[in-house]
């Protein structure tokens, strides 16, 4: 192939990608808006729109209000042209979710299943994935991939769990799942997956500290718009910040870790009831005991955030299972405690609250393949 021919093909591919990604960002646009914003010729834009429409990537759906001439077609991507599936692996259950190309979770489910390092366990999890795909009659090419978010620090190549004291899953391999699935597969630490979702939801953030308030506590650090992994992949494991060296025993073997005060499991243990029972009773404000338990919870969380704010000057994101239970009153109380006697203040608008609850890691995991697709169209 001649150099000129290669250049022409490359240019066509670049233009196609520019047009698609512009439509993706705008969510809805018109042909003339694309021409003006991308400064492309009308014929070039028309050719690319026809090509993308033939491929099923975009659709013309409705019209914009007329400004005097013919009404312009409203152009948008086909958000379910491809989907991605995320699995959140926990000690006694797993979550399954499916997302479209905008990261909207249109399916979520929780399946009780205790983890065991056996072929039967991995087959049960993957069978559920295949069952979901079959029930919806999805063709294989519609599935971008299956991502697994697990409680455990993964290897740099994301093939193996290196540290997994919660589930005793050190040594878990991506291949344990992928051998049963005819799709691309990916393995990630659940806290990092949660951070990926929060970054997706807050693209304006350059840096942040993520507190994953799940059954077990987790965390992640975002710097330069990237999730910081660290030289040995344990960056962001703020669950093991020591709150009190004489405190409760943590699963890591130390005492008084933040995990033992601010995980959902710790809160349930203190309250003597489930999270779903605890918060409705707490909000009734009729139980001094429950009020005190929640005040102590916020106090310990504030202590950790205050100290981290000295090291990482960035917004804080409250994420995961407990996040949707936080009220504005809770965040105000948290902010006040963080800033009491603090040399540097954390502004209220720098504390963000996630909205995806317990499915946060699974959705974040699914976004791995969505992000890849959007940037390679």
* Total residues found in the chain within this entry: 377
**Cα gap 269→352, rounded to integer Å:** 26
Burial class (CB in 10 A: 0-12, 13-18, 19+), 311: exposed
| SS3 at position 93 | strand
Mean pLDDT across the stretch 357-367? 98
pLDDT in tens, 185-242: 999 999 999 999 999 999 999 999 999 999 999 999 999 999 999 999 999 999 999 9
Residue 17 in domain: yes
Q: Are residues 38 and 136 in the same domain?
A: no
Whether residues 61 and 135 share a domain: the answer is no
Distance CA 251, CA 163 (A): 12
Retrieve residue 128's tokens.
């559920």
Give the pLDDT of residue 65. Answer: 73
* Average pLDDT, integer, range 336-349: 96
pLDDT above 80: residue 6: no
Q: Clarify whether residues 41 and 95 are in a common domain.
A: no
Provide the whole-model pTM: 0.94
User: CATH number of the domain that 9 lies in?
Assistant: 1.10.10.10
Sheet order of strands, 226-227 included: 226-227, 217-223, 208-213, 316-319, 351-353
CA–CA distance, 142 with 139 (Å, rounded to integer): 5
For residues 152 and 141, is the Cβ–Cβ distance under 8 A? no
At 7, is the pLDDT very low, low, confident or very high (cuts 50, 70, 90)? Answer: confident
Enclosing H/E stretch for 109: strand 105-112
Long-range contacts of 302-307 (CB under 8 A, 24+ apart): 302/334, 302/337, 302/338, 303/243, 303/337, 304/211, 304/238, 304/241, 304/243, 304/258, 304/262, 305/209, 305/211, 305/334, 305/338, 305/346, 306/337, 306/338, 306/339, 306/342, 306/346, 307/241
CATH number of the domain residue 179 falls in: 3.30.420.40
- Tell me whether residue 43 is in a domain: yes
How many domains are contained in the chain?
3
The structure tokens listed for 93 are 């259950």
| Locus of tokens 């995991």 | 365
* pLDDT tens digit sequence for 11-66: 889 999 999 999 999 999 999 999 999 999 999 999 999 999 999 999 998 888 76
Whether residues 159 and 105 fall in one domain: yes
Do 91 and 58 sit in the same domain of this protein?
A: no
Q: What confidence tens digit (pLDDT) does each residue in 243-293 have?
A: 999 999 999 999 999 999 999 999 999 999 999 999 999 999 999 999 999
Domain presence at residue 152: yes
Among candidate residues 77, 100, 116, the one where a domain is terminated: 77
* Domain end position, chosen among 77, 93, 111: 77
- 89 and 121 in one domain? yes
In whole numbers, what is the pLDDT of the chain averaged over residues? Answer: 95
Contact yes or no for 106/98 (Cβ under 8 A): yes
- The residue segments making up the domain with residue 70 are 3-77
Together in a domain, 236 and 348: yes
Angle at 357 between CA 356 and CA 359, to 5 degrees: 75
Rounded Cα distance between 364 and 188, Å, is 10
Q: Do 211 and 170 fall into the same domain?
A: no
Q: Would you say residue 87 lies in a domain?
A: yes
Q: Is residue 199 in some structural domain?
A: no
Same-domain status, 305 and 213? yes
pLDDT at 66: 64
Residue 263 belongs to a domain = yes
| Residue 243 within a domain | yes
Contact 209, 318 (CB under 8 A): no
The verdict on 242 and 331 lying in the same domain is yes
Read off the tokens for 294. 């929640």
Residue 130 lies in a domain: yes
Residues 126 and 26 in one domain: no
183 with 209, same domain: the answer is: no
Q: Are strands 316-319 and 351-353 parallel, antiparallel or unpaired?
A: parallel
Boundary (domain end) residue, out of 60, 77, 94: 77
């Amino acid at each position: 192939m001649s150099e000129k021919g290669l250049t022409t093909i490359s240019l066509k591919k670049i233009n196609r990608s520019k047009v698609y990604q512009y439509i993706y960002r705008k969510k809805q646009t018109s042909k003339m808006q694309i021409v003006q914003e991308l400064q492309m010729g009308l014929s070039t834009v028309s050719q690319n729109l026809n090509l993308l429409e033939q491929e099923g990537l975009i659709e013309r759906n409705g019209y914009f209000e007329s400004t005097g001439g013919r009404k312009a077609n409203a152009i948008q991507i086909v958000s379910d042209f491809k989907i991605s599936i995320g699995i959140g692996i926990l000690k006694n259950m797993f979550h399954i979710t499916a997302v479209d190309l905008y990261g909207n979770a249109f399916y979520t489910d929780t399946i009780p299943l205790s983890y065991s390092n056996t072929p039967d366990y991995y087959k049960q999890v993957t069978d559920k994935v295949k069952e979901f795909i079959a029930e919806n009659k999805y063709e294989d090419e519609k599935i971008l991939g299956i991502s697994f978010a697990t409680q455990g620090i993964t290897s740099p190549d994301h093939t193996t769990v290196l540290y997994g004291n919660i589930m005793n899953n050190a040594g878990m391999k991506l291949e344990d799942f992928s051998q049963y699935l005819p799709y691309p597969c990916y393995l990630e630490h659940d806290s990092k997956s949660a951070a990926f979702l929060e970054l997706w939801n807050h693209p304006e953030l350059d840096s942040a500290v993520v507190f994953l308030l799940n059954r077990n506590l987790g965390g992640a650090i975002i710097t330069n718009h990237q999730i910081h992994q660290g030289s040995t992949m344990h960056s962001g494991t703020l669950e093991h910040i020591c709150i009190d060296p004489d405190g409760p025993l943590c699963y890591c073997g130390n005492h008084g870790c933040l995990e033992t005060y601010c995980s959902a499991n710790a809160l349930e243990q203190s309250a003597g009831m489930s999270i779903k029972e605890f918060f409705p009773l707490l909000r009734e404000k009729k139980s001094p005991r429950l009020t005190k338990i929640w005040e102590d919870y916020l106090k310990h969380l504030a202590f950790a955030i205050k100290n981290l704010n000295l090291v990482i000057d960035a917004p804080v994101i409250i994420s995961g299972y407990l996040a949707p239970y936080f009220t504005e009153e809770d965040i105000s109380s948290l902010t006040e405690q963080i800033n009491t006697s603090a040399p540097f203040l954390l502004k209220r608008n720098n504390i963000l609250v996630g909205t995806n609850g317990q499915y946060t890691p699974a959705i974040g995991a699914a976004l791995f393949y969505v992000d890849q697709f959007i940037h390679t169209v």
